[in-house]
Structure 1
């Protein structure tokens, strides 16, 4: 990334309209000549045109005079006055292509891109075969960030004029901004073939090579630009930036000094400030940013770079002030967002840092420094799984294209991952120690129970022995007494007495043993019951807490432009009821949402998600994929052409953003991509944007799961029953206790494949942290 880089799009030039007036007297004093050349000499042209406008009786000539004066005012920087003149010209001649074109350019310079595009639309309505008009409208669209529509306009301009060098140049710029460096290089190759002596083609191709981390190739192109135009300060400044990324700060500084000597532009001062910052000369870096802001007071990149340097010097308040100014000029600039995130991180404002890094990544998804910074913010906030995911993402991206920012960020990410791994290892040892202690306790408990049982058995044996001794003693006494009393009785009577005594002894022993067995059985049962109850209590304690769970359920059936889908409304009602049954605290149940109501539902859902542990979105209805982007279709969508999808549909990315603040689990379930009735009638306006069959594959962030009713490239079936096959399986499995969420979707997959004869395979994308997740915990 070239921090000071400003993209300059080549638009149609301002057009003054030469013409003749009927009054020779007016022409004689030179006013007509001056007005016709007002662009080259605005100081003389403006009063000349004014005199002609005030004195001319020729109404047909007035629009041309107003147009020429407006052109001169643009040249002088009086955009408001110029737009007023072009508007007056159009009031008198509504078919003036020059006035529409010039007003469009003035509005573009002023930053009114919608107004500029509207003017170019009117001009194209009058002349649909002008490549200049498509080229100019493309430049306005790029300034709005609508790169695909801009590229379509450049394509049209090139089809109308295959040697239109400006259109190749501008299309290359748009593709560069879309992060398509190879295609941008191809366009700059064509521009250089058509205009080999224009240095800017080599400069822009070099910038595209730099985006590919081809530093040597970029430097070679900058050398070519300097060979073509040795006074091109931009080529020297950009070559200096390439050398800085290469680590050659000495040569980089020489190039930046040369650039400032040739043309002291705000960009060259900011690029030299980068060199000074890398050398640790922070005061000189701030001074260069000050110079840039004197030349261009609203230069967002100068404020951003100065804010970064102030943070490095310890001036956090000054840094925050500069970065706030940068973002007030361009709220979408990723560098400013990331730098401000660094400041919030230094001030221990983790939540605000995370918000800035997240917005930077939304605009620039491959921004290494933003991933590393957000990882640090998550780590400070105690959200370690998210921190590790961001560090790993930073390391997975190429760091050569912007080595000055990316390489230190990757080093920091690598160091933090190592530190977290060491901390986890230490924690694991502690956990292992606790486990050993628990095992020791368990063994001690088992030993105690064994000792208790042994003591009980010993006590029972002692009781039995005492009973036996007592019986024997009593029997002996009784026998002796009987013999003393009945010595003279007959032997038969003695034997009968002995038999009676023996029976009494047996009965007594049996009674004693029965009492002992009863007591022992009761003791054993009581102890067994206590063990079971303790185990149940421990199991209940280990079950994961439910937490605060929030769901948004949407069923779109009654589409206005195509046939009604019978199942989505019933599916959504049943799913919402199931979520309430399993304990979701908040369930938003919506049906037949227009785009406006769809967005309102997402915003209401987002407000609840901020305090939620789980955030779940279920959507049933039509969906489609265009150019690799997945869209959910509101019921009021018309989709006459492929380009309408951005304005009439809801991206899957927008739905994922609505879930991202949930603390533990983010889940999006899509029972969509049924047979798409929009595709057959949809006009194709962009060859580069294909319409896919089913949804495209997604790679959500860690902690997020996206479930498709039919895997990427497949079409989901609506089914013949009350519910779609996917929703039917989901409703059966969501109420099962202790069914972990990954296993739940595996069972759904098997059931749907069986129900559809293998024609439909549900699929999940993303990954979850180590914690287990259950819809019904126990």
Structure 2
């Protein structure tokens, strides 16, 4: 009762304070809608009120209803005013606006038409009719009407703002931007104009301008979560993940249960390699609504953690919500392949191909499942289908070469195929060989051995100068390993999150392999006796940043540790390191030396440096480093055991560099012969 009593006192005090002239008619015409509505009612009810006074009261009460969002009541009062005065131009215009808000577009247009008939230079009527046409998805008519309004009154920022929206709906982006510019010129605090223009820039690959516009919109209205969300989305698309997450955090402070913000923050965490944080966000998003995309993305995060069972459960949930979700079938199918459940994998990938018959990925993934299942002819058919759709697809090419090489050696008549038979030629072509006249050996696969390789080349560093050779070195070494029959993944210019993801994915392949090999070209460094590989997004302003922004060699070694026989890591990362020169040391006795430090790998593991510990390597004058050029040549030589391969590489590099660079091999292998390409 206390609150009600205070309210009554306020109303009584207000009434007592009114001057004598403040009768119901003046209150009805005033700006206080809560007081105007009953005052207008009293004016209408008075028998002594004139017709003109009653018309004005209906009109004023309609405006108050409209201001309070009660469009239906506003329409009733505008209609009463029009009945009493059929030539009341403003009532037609305002009823047009009220009809538009309730979705009665035809009635709205009829009212604006009538207002324009009564007053041909009525800019507001043209503006309102234009907005009705815009809502009806008739942008040409909308633009024509709002342009007419602007020709009558060119100083209203709203006119330019809404014509910009019509231009935007009509895909006339340059004209839309020009109108948003004008709206902002007329009203520098027009937050919605900055917001809309920012979204145009975001969608049209101008992230810097988009971020500037969203930042201005936030400065004008920091309570609008959409401003933070779309700036975060722009940051995310520009790979500025920390900034994106900070904006999503702010958006979620304002709207804690927004599905889109939770989902996209999960994507940003996942891209950073923070899979637990990503999963937590997907968990929250899925409490807001059951969504196939969220289940699919959470499944990908579980997959990246190596939790295949939970990944499959999430992909299954996604399929349950959307039985036509080809991505979920693909992800579940390839996860079944990694688990060795090839029948389930093929069933899912059948579905992918049915849903996307022109998709290369489905055919290649099913071919991989068939190949691992031992159904080589079906695998070959699928690889050929993939190559028919995309003749240059590297995965399909290498897969086809492996599958052809895995066929039984005997032909249909029991004779051994000749060296230049069709199958041999196709295997060579699929693996990238030049054909029968090439001096390079044909691809030779060993069906009894599962050999996998991850090849990384980091050239495009962001905080220091571009490295010319690592990307081309990685391609060269990757091609050589494929020619030797190895299942190769080549990845270029990886930031830290991408390197973590690549190593995690490769770890799962290595766990099911006989040989696992990693080749890395790019910057590396040694700090306090520990070796680190440097992703392209590292800044390394201080020594404390090294563990956070790089990956240790131990992490790389763990990725090959699951292989049954040979574990091989090749590091072409002993270049002069510009990070060491610019990095601030926070511990006075901390040591940063040239090149990489010595390692002592165990358990059939070999680590090869392009230059001995404490020394640096040369890139050479050509497209490839001396070290990479030698590896790509020596590793495909038939019958050469792996230890001898690297003795030959050492001899080549010493010769080419005038003994300035000496590759070095660390670790020891068991007495078995490890031969990459068997002797002919």
The TM-score normalised by the length of structure 1 is: 0.41
Higher CA-based Rg: 1
Structure with the larger helix share:
1
